Chains A and B, each alone.
Chain A
């Protein structure tokens, strides 16, 4: 039909006239849907990359490690594996020697001296293969070792060189590599947390490790790969039982419980939950904005629709022009959205590659997610125009025509409007009046801005929560003797052993206090959590934790748990728990269970950390035993000098500053700044676009009012100022909503989601004043200032033509 062609031409002319607006709306939509697709797409390719990487290196299914200080003759552990009932299901076995150590890779340019671990392993291990990322791997007959890749990358170390380890031994390394257990450095054992910067792992041929430990032919760990379908838990239990019979106490971990394995997968789940929230927020913001804008554009055509209706045009054809607008936005939005998605996806891919350098990274295009996002992106604008179009063509022509400027638009909330009579100039009331006059528009625009700000607050709030927890931790750790270091021995010694005296007697050492660190498991009412118990003097010493509940005496007569541990076990001071712990016997250590009262709660964020007064050591059969010392530098000695001196003492495995844990955590958080940068940029862009679109449509709608004001000689800047005030209100409203929502999302993510993925860490949610200020600056400041962009177009306004419209 010819009219249809005319209507389409008209729609195209519309597009030419407002292509900037159409593009801007489409871009809002694209940012929402594209980021949505990119964020949700990460799960797919991260999981694929994990699977491939673990499989490529033949990750073990079960790992059994002898208790601290114990070793066995090589072959003993493999033989024990052969004796278990499920032996037939074991496909491969490898024995290893794991040694705690200090790693010194200092060079002229930088001082790098960190605790670490030597992993002595078969050169051609059938389980847990070494993936070499640069240089050379382990070779038979060559004592050269391989440095863990992320540690080497962090400090920019060359492919080959020399390093020193505890006992002042020098080693040469030939390359950088990865073992599945160290894809992510999530723990240094014993509940201590660290990252790649603070923990140096050295992969060594078994013989090299044995030589370093002065333990030729000894091993202390066995890893197994099982046939598919085998019960790994049963295998682990059987093997432990077999070893117990030989007085070899051990801990067993199955693949699914390996911190690295669990975090790598649970991280994906946890992140996906978080991404869903973020993506949902962004999408909601874009949807509100799109809906609002398309509605307003169509509303402005209502009069013309009425005229066409009066001329007898069928309703179906009436809908063509507004629907064409919807289709234009849809198509452009989907195209731009794919672009935004691909760019954001690449960005995330790159970030993950650097944050988590797996041996294999795959990034298949997540078609399903993009299809979903594209469908949403296509439907939203259509819905946005369908609703007002339906409203417009439903009415009688006479009503539609009246909607123009001839009859001033029906105003809602009239009594409220009247009350909004601030003293002062009449036009100072206009901004607020305009907002109340069009409540739906105000609310939708504010919600769009609010959703963008909520995204920002949620992302920054999580970082704030981490930082806040680390700050609290530092404050607690440096309560007294802030410059102390913790010296860990490679073994357990009596208090009067020469190794202890060598440390306490060193000229660089000031005061010293002894500690015994033991691993244990706490149980109460069916709940079970691992603990790292520090047996020390809770009445004195260089440092002791803040203890809530019970008082000092009560604390000394029971175990002091972290807040999270107490919460997870469901206990309070005064309650009793069962503690599984190693017990000294004539032959070595066995495990025993003791019932012990909870003496108090300490505020530390690490769940596993628990304290026990040394007066109770007898109950554990550990009286007079030491495996760690806390020492302060002597007067005039720096902490670095002290560390270096202690490093040379035999049997010292690590020397760490009181805040070493948080220092390395802070480093790791630094890496997230780039992620946050992307989030902040997207949010800012979204908020700006929403504000820009709202402003430009408002300017369009109020062209006549503005022209009237100009006719009365009101200067341009006064008109723009009104827009600024109006937008400031919208921004304030949106930011208030955004801050509230963002805080809720932060709490949910940190206290529910993160606690689920990272139960070892107790973190209260917090949103810092800086985040609030940034949110206000973006949400109120940026949104309020967008009317400035209309300054030029207002200056170009043809006042007579605008006033003429219906004359």
Chain B
């Protein structure tokens, strides 16, 4: 009985900017943290290859290494071992400024707790994404992207004047406005109620159909049903990888 907020939700940005063959490649990647004498292994020997225009769900219990994996792909973090490539670019060997450039032009983030800039309006938050990626016509892009997530009427509102679901839609619009080919979302529905969560997933799904590589992290097995591909993590290892059991379901069939 899931009802997307907008049935006609369309991909708001076409990812044609993304060169064909954009993908994410992890080869033998481990990430360990040393805290005093103790070494915590967050990821252990992970191999992963993701194609363009894919909607991938990374599933696993809390502490299984999902966020760590996303951070490595997003060039926020550097692997202890192995090699991470995004869009053919080696993240592991990149300098700090090269990693910043990669984040500007290749990946974009949606966070569980939105992380909108409280001093900027909804529209300006979205424009931030376009600005930072160096897009021409940043303002127009932001307007159409915000309209695409159904918030044209709230453009001049500040984050504190929006509900959680609205804030997350602004956050998604901000990520989309970058026009970057890889979108990373860490528990994007974690703080939202079911209906709102479904609407958010619908938005992300449509984006993947338009050509963006979308990686969504969740501990919610139900969400995995709408994915093209489900990667299951447990204690830092990939324990399962493939299409969802029973095939891909439309977003409207979700319930939790």
Chain A contacts to B: CB under 8 angstroms: 405-411, 414, 417-418, 421, 425-427, 429-430, 433-434, 437, 704-705, 707-716, 795, 799-800, 803-804, 806-807
Determine the main DSSP class of A at the interface with B.
helix
B194 at the interface (CB under 8 A from A): no
Bound complex: CA A704 to CA B115 (Å): 7
A584 CB, nearest partner CB in chain B, Å: 84
Bound complex: CA A426 to CA B96 (Å): 24
Bound complex: CA A430 to CA B116 (Å): 12
In the complex, what residue of chain A is closest to B74 when comparing beta carbons?
A711
Binary flags per residue of B29-43, CB closer than 8 Å to A gives 1, else 0:
000000000000000
Bound complex: CA A418 to CA B161 (Å): 13
Bound complex: CA A414 to CA B160 (Å): 10
Within 8 A of A (CB), among B102-145: 102-105, 108-109, 111-113, 115-121, 124-125, 127-129, 131-133, 138, 142
B71 at the interface (CB under 8 A from A): yes
A714 contacts B121, CB within 8 Å? no
Q: List A contacts of B125 (CB < 8 A).
A: 426
In the complex, what residue of chain A is closest to B71 when comparing beta carbons?
A800
A-B contact pairs, 25 of them (CB 8 A): A406-B113, A408-B118, A411-B119, A414-B158, A417-B119, A418-B156, A425-B131, A426-B124, A426-B125, A426-B138, A705-B118, A707-B115, A708-B115, A711-B76, A712-B104, A713-B102, A713-B104, A713-B133, A714-B132, A716-B100, A799-B76, A800-B76, A803-B76, A803-B115, A807-B111
B97 contacts A715, CB within 8 Å? yes
Within 8 A of A (CB), among B161-194: 161, 167, 178, 186-187, 190-191
Q: List B contacts of A425 (CB < 8 A).
A: 127, 131, 138
Set B116, B128, B161, B178: member contacting A427, Cβ < 8 A: B128
A427 contacts B96, CB within 8 Å? no
Bound complex: CA A405 to CA B167 (Å): 13
A708 contacts B117, CB within 8 Å? yes
A714-B100 in contact given A429-B120, A803-B111 (Cβ < 8 Å): yes
A712 contacts B124, CB within 8 Å? no
In the complex, what residue of chain B is closest to A718 when comparing beta carbons?
B132
Other contacts beyond A426-B131, A799-B77, A800-B71: 10, CB < 8 A: A411-B160, A425-B127, A430-B117, A437-B118, A437-B119, A705-B117, A711-B109, A712-B129, A714-B132, A807-B67
B120 contacts A430, CB within 8 Å? yes
A188 CB, nearest partner CB in chain B, Å: 66
Q: List B contacts of A405 (CB < 8 A).
A: 113
B100 contacts A713, CB within 8 Å? yes
Set A408, A429, A712, A713: member contacting B158, Cβ < 8 A: A408
Bound complex: CA A712 to CA B179 (Å): 12
Q: Which of B68, B71, B187 has the most CB of A within 10 A?
A: B71
A807-B103 in contact given A410-B160, A712-B109, A713-B132 (Cβ < 8 Å): no
B159 at the interface (CB under 8 A from A): yes
Q: List A contacts of B74 (CB < 8 A).
A: 711
A408-B103 in contact given A437-B118, A807-B111, A807-B186 (Cβ < 8 Å): no
Bound complex: CA A429 to CA B115 (Å): 17
* Residue tally, chain B, CB below 8 Å to A: 47
B10 at the interface (CB under 8 A from A): no
In the complex, what residue of chain B is closest to A431 when comparing beta carbons?
B119
Q: List B contacts of A426 (CB < 8 A).
A: 120, 124-125, 127-128, 131, 138, 142
A418-B100 in contact given A405-B113, A712-B108, A800-B76 (Cβ < 8 Å): no
Q: Which of A411, A710, A713, A800 has the most CB of B within 10 A?
A: A713
B101 at the interface (CB under 8 A from A): yes
Q: List B contacts of A433 (CB < 8 A).
A: 119-120
Bound complex: CA A806 to CA B74 (Å): 19
B144 CB, nearest partner CB in chain A, Å: 15
Q: Which of B115, B121, B158 has the most CB of A within 10 A?
A: B115
Set A406, A434, A712: member contacting B119, Cβ < 8 A: A434
Bound complex: CA A704 to CA B190 (Å): 19
Q: List B contacts of A707 (CB < 8 A).
A: 115
Q: List A contacts of B100 (CB < 8 A).
A: 710, 713-716
B10 CB, nearest partner CB in chain A, Å: 24
Bound complex: CA A83 to CA B120 (Å): 92
A408 contacts B159, CB within 8 Å? yes
Bound complex: CA A711 to CA B184 (Å): 11
Q: List A contacts of B76 (CB < 8 A).
A: 710-711, 799-800, 803
B158 CB, nearest partner CB in chain A, Å: 5
B160 contacts A713, CB within 8 Å? no
Q: List B contacts of A427 (CB < 8 A).
A: 128, 131-132
Bound complex: CA A726 to CA B132 (Å): 20
A795-B96 in contact given A712-B129, A803-B111 (Cβ < 8 Å): yes
A444 CB, nearest partner CB in chain B, Å: 19
A712-B160 in contact given A409-B118, A411-B118, A430-B119 (Cβ < 8 Å): no
A407 contacts B160, CB within 8 Å? yes
Bound complex: CA A807 to CA B62 (Å): 10
B178 contacts A429, CB within 8 Å? no
B58 CB, nearest partner CB in chain A, Å: 14
Q: List B contacts of A434 (CB < 8 A).
A: 119
Bound complex: CA A430 to CA B124 (Å): 10
Q: List B contacts of A414 (CB < 8 A).
A: 158, 161
Bound complex: CA A795 to CA B116 (Å): 22
Q: List B contacts of A406 (CB < 8 A).
A: 113, 191
A713 contacts B103, CB within 8 Å? yes
Q: List A contacts of B68 (CB < 8 A).
A: 800
Q: List A contacts of B103 (CB < 8 A).
A: 710-713
Please name the 4 residue pairs, one residue from A and one from B, whose CB atoms are nearest each other, closest first: A713-B104, A713-B103, A433-B119, A408-B159
Binary flags per residue of B72-101, CB closer than 8 Å to A gives 1, else 0:
001011000000000000000000110011
Bound complex: CA A363 to CA B142 (Å): 70
A705 CB, nearest partner CB in chain B, Å: 6
A291 CB, nearest partner CB in chain B, Å: 24
Bound complex: CA A187 to CA B112 (Å): 79
Binary flags per residue of B222-240, CB closer than 8 Å to A gives 1, else 0:
0000000000000000000
Q: List B contacts of A409 (CB < 8 A).
A: 118, 160
B199 CB, nearest partner CB in chain A, Å: 20
